Structure 1
């Protein structure tokens, strides 16, 4: 089984990782389709193009982290961008 530390992006495995512990519910509970999580989301990235790393905790900060990574790092570097 892979632990969370194994999924954290680093120099050898750059990329973006987002996680949040789900709330487990009974299969017949209509509330199981909610997007609520049991813990605050955590995100981190390591850019393989420029080597920059960043982390965030909480929905708003993780969303900003994803936007930053998408606009300025991983995908931008693969397209020959920044």
Structure 2
């Protein structure tokens, strides 16, 4: 698999969390649980800023920051 980390040449947002695979009839398979700690990173194509995060709350904040202030937000200003 190729490296999906955003760079100045390939800006964007990338979030990853390895899922826990369960049998189709396991009721716990619908839980929001991952096998590894979620991680995320972005590089903005508009201003060049980049950031990384690890953990559910920090990754959620990273996505919110990117969405509100970078990437597509640069076209709305």
- Whether 2:45 is the aligned partner of 1:57: answer no
- Whether 2:34 is the aligned partner of 1:75: answer no
1:16 maps to which residue? Answer: 13
| Structure 1: gaps spanning 5 or more residues | none
Moved over 3 A (4+): none
With the length of structure 2 as denominator, give the TM-score of the two structures: 0.93
- Whether 2:39 is the aligned partner of 1:28: answer no
2:45 maps to which residue? Answer: 48
* SS of 1:60 mapped into structure 2: helix
Query: Can you list the C-alpha shifts for 1:16-38, whole angstroms capped at 9, x where unaligned?
Result: 01000100111111111111111
> In angstroms, what is the RMSD of aligned CA positions?
0.9
Structure with greater helix percent = 1
With the length of structure 1 as denominator, give the TM-score of the two structures: 0.88
Query: Can you list the C-alpha shifts for 1:47-67, whole angstroms capped at 9, x where unaligned?
Result: 000000000000111111111
Q: Give, in whole Å, the separation in 2 of the partners of 1:18 and 1:45.
A: 9
